[in-house]
Chains A and B, each alone.
Chain A
Amino acid sequence: MKTVAEHTERRTYTLNMGPQHPSTHGVLRVILELEGETIVDARPVVGYLHRGTEKLAESKTYQQVSPLIDRLDYLACPAYNFAYCLAVEKLLGVEVPPRAKYIRVILAELARIASHLIWLGSHAMDIGAVTVFLYTFREREITYELLEMAAGVRMHQSYFVVGGVRWDLPEGFIPKLREFLDILPSKIQEYENLLTKNKIWRMRTEGLGVLSREDAIALGATGPMLRGSGVEWDIRKAYPYSGYGEFEFDIPTGRNGDVYDRYLVRMEEMRQSRRIILQALEKLPDGPIHAMEGKLYFPDPDWVRGEHRDIAALIHQFKLVVEGFHPPKGEVYQSIEAPKGELGFYIVCDGSPKPYRLRIRLPSLMNLQTLPLLSRGHKVADLVAIIGTLDIVLGDVDK
């Protein structure tokens, strides 16, 4: 028997989804070729949030680039500063003191929890479970309060600076962080109660958007997208940076590579991040929070214009502000495991205080490449679930 499509001339129509659409997580535009409600083809169009970060960076000194980097993935700013600072430090050959390393790990993992909380909330809301969204925002608020305590602002902290962190953790930060970590498992359990075994949730996510191991690797998917497909790859383990080698944690992986597996992977990652933070708090050493060599750090204001003012300190401050520091000529690539996948910075330095070229490898952009593959043959309703599972932030797609 012939199907209806074979009887009639095969007809599809185009639906333009976005850039203004509630479920495209910002200004993503997807041009859909539909047959009824079935997706024949999906073409993501990116660039609506392009801010020219890479080009802008070429006209700024190494410290001035840092606030631009914050704005790539505005949901996990510390992770982005982290990668950038590591790259510049690699270029400079500077060793960061242990306390700063641990503080960085703590905040980066906190950012991972915050980022995953937002992912979970918006992903669930796209599939219709609105309540989960507000529950996750309740906990995310605490993570932002913590980041604010450390850095002074909620978003775009730029708390990590080349050579260390801007200042030490304030009093009361660690007790509050511990309090948060105490309640976190029960809260994650609360979300899981609403979703993990929910029949409708499983119907909507299981077997959907299957990304095979080979496709995941071929398309450059990283982070939970790759791990959901069963590849045990985590840069924190593969190329440990900033002392990650000293922590014990597991890499959760999925089996089927579907939306549900990636959901489970990210849920487990939040628990693992908590484990890492607890270990880091346990081991947190005393000591300086900034590398002393290289004159990367702004001198104490007291030395510049206070009691102990000193012309050398004043000159140092002046040079740093007006000129910046001069890394040696060379090229470096440094990548980290950001919440959304591998985040890498490739810096070409010509010896001047401004990067000659800054190339950013963005996890969201790479993961978005899998969208056409994942969504072909599924329904329009599934597309929002698939966009949700990609966990993209448009700032992180468009640079």
Chain B
Amino acid sequence: MIVAIIVVAVKLLILFAVLMLFVAYGTLAERKVSGHIQDRLGPYHCGPHGLLQPLADGLKLFFKEDIVAAESDKILYYLAPMIAIVPAILAIGVIPFGESITLFGRKIDLVVTDINVALLYLLAVSSFSVYAIVFGGWSSNSKYPLLGGLRSAAQFISYELILGLSIMGVIMVVGSFSLVDIVHYQKSMWMVVYQPLAFIIYMIAATAELNRLPFDLPEAESELVGGYHTEYSSMKFAMFFLGEYANMTVTSAVAVCLFLGGWYSPVSFLSWIPGPIWFVVKLVAVFFFLLWLRWTYPRFRYDQLMVFSWKYLLPLALVNILATGGVMILFGGI
């Protein structure tokens, strides 16, 4: 019993550390990738090739003056940045990143906990992050954050729905909510082959969920100054910032598990490479895709975003579910 607890604790610690590493270097990757896309170098002065930039950023934000907006709703104002990062940390618990390994005679699953409703749990905790934005926007007692908060409430509700529907197809094919089962199912063939439409819808909805361009309306800099975090400074701002990259990491990880074969190697002759490495490679690829998208596209307008969601994505997601169901009935499963 005690050993089991220690094992879980160690796994949690490692995962948390890895997540934070991803978050820190995600911010650097963002700046480096954007730099190279835009014909410049990105950060270059802190350490070799700017590798220590995340540390410098963190230190800088830590020592910044912590300004509290006047007449703000103090409880919600302090709560919002905390909520921002929590969902991502909660979500890493159910993400499998490798096959079980045997260590000192014990079989250890490379997932903190394999619960049978992992996907439902994921959707539940990820919806939680909207509260950070809504609270932050509301409690700041300022009009730009308020507009950002309102936008995001509408955006999250619309795209959460589509995110859930896009995952439905995968659940129908596999017949399980467990991420471990879903990855096992993809041992020979990736889910993206069976569910290409669901993958595309998932990626679009996930980008919208993450407030990334072309869907970054809640924090649209050119319109709403900083959006919901306009009135936040110092570490409170840093929490929003970290939350964004933590959510990106988790969303990429979920995409890898659901559609890109999890920890399995794409070709059999490379299967000697350990699962976790494959997992990280795929994760980085999806992460890079998100960055790439951001630095290529202009931004949607608020109403266009809604139209896009309800008029195009929602019917498409439903069609995908119907088509999956039809094929399953006709051919008795995929």
Contact = CB atoms under 8 A, between A and B. Distances in A.
**Chain A complexes with chain B:** yes
Interface of A: 13, 15, 21-23, 37, 124-131, 134-135, 138, 194-195, 198, 200-201, 203-204, 379-384
A198 B298 contact: yes
Interface stretch (B11-19, B216-224, B254-262, B315-323): B216-224
A134 B296 contact: no
A134 B297 contact: no
Contact of B213 (A37, A128, A134, A379): A128
Given A127-B298, A131-B295, A134-B40, A380 B223 contact: yes
B12 to A, nearest CB: 37
Given A135-B39, A379-B303, A384 B223 contact: yes
B60 interface: no
Nearest to A198: B298
B228 to A, nearest CB: 15
B297 A23 contact: no
A99 B225 CA distance: 48
Contact of A384 (B40, B222, B295): B222
B38 A200 contact: no
A320 B225 CA distance: 50
B38 A381 contact: no
A15 B39 CA distance: 37
B39 A130 contact: no
A126 B302 contact: no
Contact of A128 (B38, B39, B297, B302): B297
Contact of B214 (A125, A138, A200): A200
Given A130-B295, A203-B301, A381-B302, A23 B222 contact: yes
Nearest to B39: A138
A37 B302 contact: yes
B299 interface: yes
Given A128-B220, A131-B38, A15 B143 contact: yes
Contacts of B223: 23, 380-381, 383-384
Given A21-B225, A125-B222, A128-B216, A203 B296 contact: no
Interface in B218-263: 220-225
Contacts of A138: 39
Contacts of A134: 38-40
B25 interface: no
Interface of B: 34, 37-40, 143-144, 147, 151, 213-214, 216-217, 220-225, 295-304
A22 B222 contact: yes
Contact of B296 (A13, A131, A383): A131
Given A22-B221, A22-B222, A128-B213, A135 B299 contact: no
Contacts of A131: 34, 37-38, 295-296
A13 B37 CA distance: 40
Nearest to B297: A200
Nearest to A122: B222
Contacts of B143: 13, 15
A124 B220 contact: no
Nearest to B296: A131
Contacts of A201: 298
A79 B287 CA distance: 46
B10 to A, nearest CB: 42
A248 to B, nearest CB: 34
A124 B302 contact: no
B226 to A, nearest CB: 9
B299 A128 contact: yes
The 8 A-B pairs with the shortest beta carbon distances in the complex, nearest first, are A128-B299, A134-B38, A129-B298, A23-B222, A128-B298, A126-B222, A127-B298, A381-B301
Nearest to A378: B301
Contacts of B302: 37, 379, 381
Given A203-B304, A204-B301, A381-B301, A194 B222 contact: no
Contacts of B151: 37
Contacts of A383: 223
A218 B301 CA distance: 30
Nearest to B307: A203
Given A125-B222, A128-B213, A128-B214, A379 B301 contact: yes
B290 to A, nearest CB: 15
Nearest to A23: B222
Nearest to B151: A37
B216 A37 contact: no
Contacts of A379: 301-303
Nearest to A387: B222
Contacts of A13: 143
Given A131-B37, A134-B38, A135-B39, A22 B225 contact: yes
A198 B214 CA distance: 12
A200 B296 contact: no
A332 B250 CA distance: 69
